């Protein structure tokens, strides 16, 4: 069995991977420049120069703030819906038999396919974006919560009943503390999905946000800013995933 890598070795390999990706990025742009001169605007140096200039202004920070707020609202709605449903499904075989086939069917429907209906029913603005993000994020939270409930030690529940705990007390003091790690796993998966859905969701019906910024940069032919926005989206998504992994590891360490 291979020995685990120490932190300096992991950091060096990560830097090597990023370096290789940048080299391939530049190579691809160079190979396109001869036939498509505008491809030079997509080069790494142009993208990072544009990103540095954007971060010195106010507009991109407004777009970042709006996008993160939409992520927070969508994730909060997904947790508020997914955790109770997951507890219900995981606690009752009859409920699971009745609802899980429906949930599995809905889970396989792309959230973006709901975009026309969301705009028709909720109008333009943030409301349809919140709906799409919550719809995308609810399934990993629900399924991981249900899995955690099903894996709980039955003796814990028997002990709660023997102490005359009410169903509410059992859920709050036994079930939820016992499945927090599963809920955090679902939240981490949900963040990855919600961040991917965010950009196309913001391309419809809103006038600010990172998704809107990409459309605006395309319309202005500011391709270096478009690439800068793509890099920024990747960096922010990486940071959100790191925070989710940190919270999950912290919980497991403190249990």
Residues 1-31 pLDDT 10s: 556 777 777 788 888 988 999 899 889 888 8
CA–CA dist 75, 244 (Å, integer) = 12
Q: Kindly report the pTM of this predicted structure.
A: 0.85
Query: What's the mean per-residue pLDDT of the chain?
Result: 86
Banded pLDDT at 165 (limits 50, 70, 90): low
CA–CA dist 79, 142 (Å, integer) = 8
pLDDT of 189 strictly over 60: yes
pLDDT of 246 strictly over 70: yes
CA–CA dist 189, 179 (Å, integer) = 16
Determine the pLDDT at residue 92. 82
* Sign of the torsion formed by the C-alpha atoms of 125, 205, 213 and 241: positive
């Amino acid at each position: 069995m291979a020995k685990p890598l120490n932190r300096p070795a992991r950091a060096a390999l990560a830097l090597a991977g990023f370096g290789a990706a940048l080299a391939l990025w530049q190579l691809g742009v160079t190979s396109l420049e001869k036939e498509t001169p505008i491809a030079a605007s997509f080069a790494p140096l142009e993208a990072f120069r544009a990103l540095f200039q954007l971060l010195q202004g106010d507009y991109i920070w407004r777009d970042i703030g709006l996008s993160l707020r939409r992520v927070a609202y969508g994730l909060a709605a997904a947790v508020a819906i997914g955790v109770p449903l997951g507890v219900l499904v995981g606690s009752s075989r009859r409920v699971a038999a009745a609802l899980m086939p429906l949930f599995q069917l809905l889970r396989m429907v792309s959230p973006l396919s709901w975009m026309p209906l969301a705009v028709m029913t909720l109008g333009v603005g943030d409301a349809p974006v919140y709906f799409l993000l919550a719809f995308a994020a609810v399934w990993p939270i629900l399924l991981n919560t249900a899995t955690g409930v099903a894996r709980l030690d039955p003796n814990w529940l028997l002990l709660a009943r023997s102490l005359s705990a009410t169903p509410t007390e059992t859920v709050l003091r036994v079930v939820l503390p016992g499945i927090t790690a599963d809920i955090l796993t679902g939240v981490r998966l949900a963040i990855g999905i919600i961040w991917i859905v965010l950009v196309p969701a913001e391309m419809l019906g809103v006038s600010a946000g990172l998704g809107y910024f990409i459309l605006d940069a395309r319309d202005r032919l500011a391709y270096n800013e478009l690439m800068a926005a793509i890099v920024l989206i990747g960096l922010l998504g990486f940071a959100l995933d790191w925070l989710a992994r940190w919270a999950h590891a912290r919980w497991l360490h403190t249990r």
